[in-house]
Structure 1
Amino acid sequence: MTTTHPALSAEERELLPSDEDVRFYAEHGWYLSKKLFTDDEVDALTAATDRYYDGERDRTLGVRPPKLAYWEPAKGPVQRHNDYVHYEHSAIGAILRKPLLGAVAARLARAAEIRIFQSTLIYKPPIAGEPSNIVPWHFDKHYWASSSSEDMLTAFIPFHDCDVEMGTITMVDGSHRWSEIGADDTVVRHFADRDRGQLEEMLAENAAHNGAEIRKIPMVIPKGHLSFHHCRTYHGSGANVSGRPRRAISLHLQDGANAWREFPLSDGTHATYNHDVLVRRTDDGRPDYADPDYCPIIWRESAPQGG
C-alpha cells in the first residue's frame, strides 16, 4: 500500500525529506530543509509582517493570556516576540499554512497530521550589545508540559539568508535523545523568565549525565529554506552583529495525536499554556488543542491507495 500527497505538486514532492533525512532528524534532532518558500512568498511574508508591526490586525485575541509574548513600540529596540500572528493576521496565517511545510513536518515527526501549535514573530535588532538578543539554551517541551505529545517540533523561518553573524538559531546536536536530570517545576517557565547562567548549567549537567559532548551547530539558512528541530532539542541564539535586523517566525507544530493533559506541579497547581484561556473546550471540559481557529491543520495524510 502506498500513500499519496494530493495537495502537493510533483515538484513539491521532490522537496520532501528523504528516508535518509528522516533518519538524520531522528538521530540529530534537527533538519535543514530544501527551498520550501519561493522568494515571492518570503517577500510577501516580510511585507505582511511590516503591516503587522504598523498595527494591522484582522482579528485580535479574545482575552490576553497570562504569559503572552507581545512586543509593542513602547517596549523599544529590544528583541521583539509576538505570539499568535497566524491568528491575528490573515496574510501571515495563509503563508504559514502552506501544505508543503506541513508535509515536511509530518515526514520528520512520522505523523499523519500536523497542526499549528503557536507562531511567534521575531525581530532581532542589529544592536550587538542588546541583552535581549541572546537566547539561552533551552528546549521547547519544557514550556509545553500540558501537551501530551513527545513528537512536537518547530520550524524556524527566516525572511532572508540567515547566518552566524545575524545570530542564527543554533542546535545542540542530538540533545533530544538525552535523559534529563535536575529538572523541577521551574523548567516550565519561559527562558526569558529564568536565569541564563542556570540554563547554561543545566545544559552542562545534562550533557555530563548522558556522557555526551555539547556540539553546537549553527543553522546557516538560505532565504526560502527552513530549519526544523525536535521539541526536546536544546537550542539558542547569539547576538546579531550583522548591522541588519534578523527577522523570522518560529512556527511551533503539533502532531495530530497531541492533546491537553493534566500535568501537576509541586505547589498543587497544574502546568498551563496560553491556549488554555483561548481555545474551545472538548466535550469533557478540557482545552482543545485541535481548535481550528487557533490550531489549524496544515497537513493531513491522504487515505492509503490501492490494494
Structure 2
Amino acid sequence: MTSQVDSFALTDEERELLPSDSDVQFYLEHGWFLSPRIFSDAEVDLLVTASEQFYAGHRDRVLPVRPARLAYWEPSAGAVQRHNDYIHYESAAIGEILRKPLIGAIAARLAQADAIRIFQSTLIYKPARPAEETNIVPWHFDRHYWATSTSERMLTAFLPFHDCDEEMGTITMVDGSHRWQEIGGNDETSRHFADRDRTQLEEMLRENAEANGTEVRKVPMIIPKGHVSFHHCRTYHGSGANVSDRPRRAISLHLQDGDNAYRKFKLSDGSQVSYNHDVLVRRQTDGTPDYSDPEYCPTIWRG
C-alpha cells in the first residue's frame, strides 16, 4: 500500500520544476509567479473533455446542499461567462488532476508552507463574445472573500486549458499590490466584486496605489498551455473581454496552507461573515467549520 507521505513524492524531473530561491523572492516582491510547463498536453486535454462532460450534465457526486453564494452556471443562464465552484468535488477526473502533488509543491515553495490543501476550485468558461458584460472580471483580491480564514499566505493557481493571452481576456495582475496597506473598512472591502460598480473598483484601485506611494502597474499573464500562474491572496487581479474566436477555458484553483483554519469574522453591524464551506464541511470539536475536511479541502502536498 502506498503511504500518504509517498503519495506526495515528486520525480527528479518534477523537482527540477520547483521555484528557485530567486523565483520565491520574485513572488514575495511582485505577488505573482508563472510556472514552467507542469501539465502535459494529455492532462490538459483531459480537463477539456471532463469539463464538456460536466457541462453536459455528468456528475460523479453532487454537493449535499447549495451554499448561498455558490457560483454555479447552468444551461438556462445562457451564453454568459460560466463559473462552477467545487469542480474538484463534483468531477472525479478534474479533481484527480488538480490534486497533482507538483502543483501543491510549487504553492508550498511560494507560500513558504509545509503543507498545501485545496480551498476552492472554479471551472471557468469565457465565451468568445467581445461585448458580453459578464466576461469582464473587475479588480479584486481573493483575501477579501476569505475573511473567515486565518491565513495570510493563501494563494491561487490559474490553469488555462490552452495558450492564453490578452486577446482571450487572460488574468491580469496588479504588480506588487499584495504589499499595499489597504484603505477602507472591512464592510466595504468584503463585498464581492459582482455586487460592486466597476468604476468604483477602478477608483478604489487607484486610491490604494496613491495611498501606498506607488502606481497601478497591470501585468497581463501570457500563459502557454500546460503552464500555471500563481498569485498571492492579496494581489489585485481581474480580466478583460475575450475578443478571440474561441472560448477561454480555465480553472481557478484556490489553495490554503496547512495552518489555515476557520475564524469568526463580523461586520460593523454585528452580522457574521460566512463562506460557502461553512454549510458543507465537517465540524471541529467546538462546532466550528473544519477547513481541513478532506472531502472538500484535500491535502495535495505535505513536505
TM value normalised by structure 2: 0.97
Task: Kindly report which structure 2 residues correspond to 1:1-307, keeping only aligned pairs within 5 A, or say none.
Answer: 7-301=9-303
Over 3 Å counting, the alpha-carbon distance change for 1:113 and 1:191 in structure 2 is same
SS class of match (1:137): strand
Preserved contact between residue 267 and residue 273 of structure 2 (Cα < 8 Å)? yes
Preserved contact between residue 206 and residue 215 of structure 2 (Cα < 8 Å)? no
Deviation at 1:201, TM superposition (A): 1.2
CA distance in 2, matches of 1:104, 1:183: 33
TM value normalised by structure 1: 0.96
CA distance in 2, matches of 1:191, 1:120: 16
SS class of match (2:116): strand
CA distance in 2, matches of 1:138, 1:83: 18
Deviation at 1:188, TM superposition (A): 1.7
Deviation at 1:103, TM superposition (A): 0.3
> What is the one-letter code of the residue matched to 2:166?
V
> What is the one-letter code of the residue matched to 2:160?
P
CA distance in 2, matches of 1:242, 1:188: 33
CA distance in 2, matches of 1:78, 1:6: 38
> What is the one-letter code of the residue matched to 1:48?
A
> What is the one-letter code of the residue matched to 2:198?
R
- Per-residue CA deviations over 1:133-181 (Å, capped at 9, x if unaligned) read 1111000000000000000000000000000000000000000000000
SS class of match (1:116): strand
CA distance in 2, matches of 1:252, 1:6: 19
Q: What's the Cα RMSD here?
A: 1.1
Q: Which moved more, 1:188-197 or 1:10-19?
A: 188-197
Preserved contact between residue 8 and residue 101 of structure 2 (Cα < 8 Å)? no
Instruction: Percent identity, please.
Output: 72
Runs of 4+ in 1 over 4 A off after TM superposition: none
CA distance in 1, matches of 2:235, 2:70: 23
CA distance in 2, matches of 1:282, 1:6: 26
SS class of match (1:276): helix
Q: Which moved more, 1:131-140 or 1:194-203?
A: 194-203
Paired residue total = 298
- Per-residue CA deviations over 1:91-110 (Å, capped at 9, x if unaligned) read 11000000000000000000
Preserved contact between residue 148 and residue 263 of structure 2 (Cα < 8 Å)? yes
Preserved contact between residue 261 and residue 292 of structure 2 (Cα < 8 Å)? yes
> What is the one-letter code of the residue matched to 1:156?
F
Deviation at 1:191, TM superposition (A): 1.1
- Per-residue CA deviations over 1:29-88 (Å, capped at 9, x if unaligned) read 000000010011000111111101111001111111000000000000000000000001
- Per-residue CA deviations over 1:245-280 (Å, capped at 9, x if unaligned) read 000000000000000011111121111100000000
Unpaired segments ≥5 residues, structure 2: 1-5
> What is the one-letter code of the residue matched to 1:280?
R
